[in-house]
Amino acid sequence: GAIGFGGPVAITAALLVGLGLRPLQAAGLCLIANTAPVAFGAVGIPIIAMANLVGIEQHSVSAMVGRMLVPLSLTIPFFIVFLMDGFKGIKETFPAILVAALSFTTTQFLSSNHLGAELPDIISAVVSLAVTTVFLKFWKPKNIFRFDNESNFTQDNTLSFNQ
């Protein structure tokens, strides 16, 4: 990511708490979700610093890290959904999880192997968000996940100026 150093976890955990998750649950999910992209740190700083310190070509280190992260990047989205809703959640949202995982992993792998350590996670996140958003325009899960204390609501598309 662009921030690094725990910033993404703090920001996204606060957003999830605002959406209704318990604080500890939100922090835990964000820490788990941050395991795959954290290897590249803030704009590749850990990879670049390590390569310079050891005297290895930066591109070689970036490529190897990108290859090693493939299994982790593919499984993390499934694990997060499992933690939220168990196997039922995975079964109901499998196509969406697969699209998100494959788009992130493929982009991370290609960009780390061909572009270097600076942009793999930024590009991967943007591509995954775009691809998953387009996919969800055409596919919807049968059941929408709700928290125990949350009721169904209807969307109101009217605009009002308090009149």
DSSP class per residue in 82-148:
HHHHHHHHHHHHHHHHHHHHHHHHHHHHHHHHHT-SSSHHHHHHHHHHHHHHHHHHH---SS----T
Kindly state whether residue 83 falls inside one of the protein's structural domains.
Answer: yes
Kindly state whether residue 157 falls inside one of the protein's structural domains.
Answer: no
Query: What does the pLDDT read at residue 60?
Result: 93
Kindly state whether residue 163 falls inside one of the protein's structural domains.
Answer: no
Each residue of 45-87: pLDDT tens digit?
Answer: 889 999 999 999 999 999 999 999 999 999 999 999 999 889 9
Residue 138 has pLDDT above 90, yes or no: yes
Kindly state whether residue 29 falls inside one of the protein's structural domains.
Answer: yes
Kindly state whether residue 149 falls inside one of the protein's structural domains.
Answer: no
Strand, coil or helix: 163? coil
Each residue of 4-30: pLDDT tens digit?
Answer: 667 788 898 999 999 888 999 999 999
Query: What does the pLDDT read at residue 34?
Result: 87
Confidence bin at 97 (pLDDT 50/70/90): very high
Q: Which domain holds residue 71?
A: 7-138
pTM: 0.83
Kindly state whether residue 50 falls inside one of the protein's structural domains.
Answer: yes
Kindly state whether residue 22 falls inside one of the protein's structural domains.
Answer: yes
Kindly state whether residue 159 falls inside one of the protein's structural domains.
Answer: no
Q: Ranked by mean pLDDT, which of 34-43, 128-137, 149-158 comes out on top?
A: 128-137
Distance CA 47, CA 91 (A): 36
Query: What does the pLDDT read at residue 142?
Result: 86
Distance CA 60, CA 104 (A): 21
| Nearest C-alpha neighbor of 62 from the set 2, 113, 107 | 113
Confidence bin at 89 (pLDDT 50/70/90): very high
CA dihedral in degrees (61, 43, 79, 63; nearest 10)?
-20
Specify the higher pLDDT residue, 50 or 155: 50
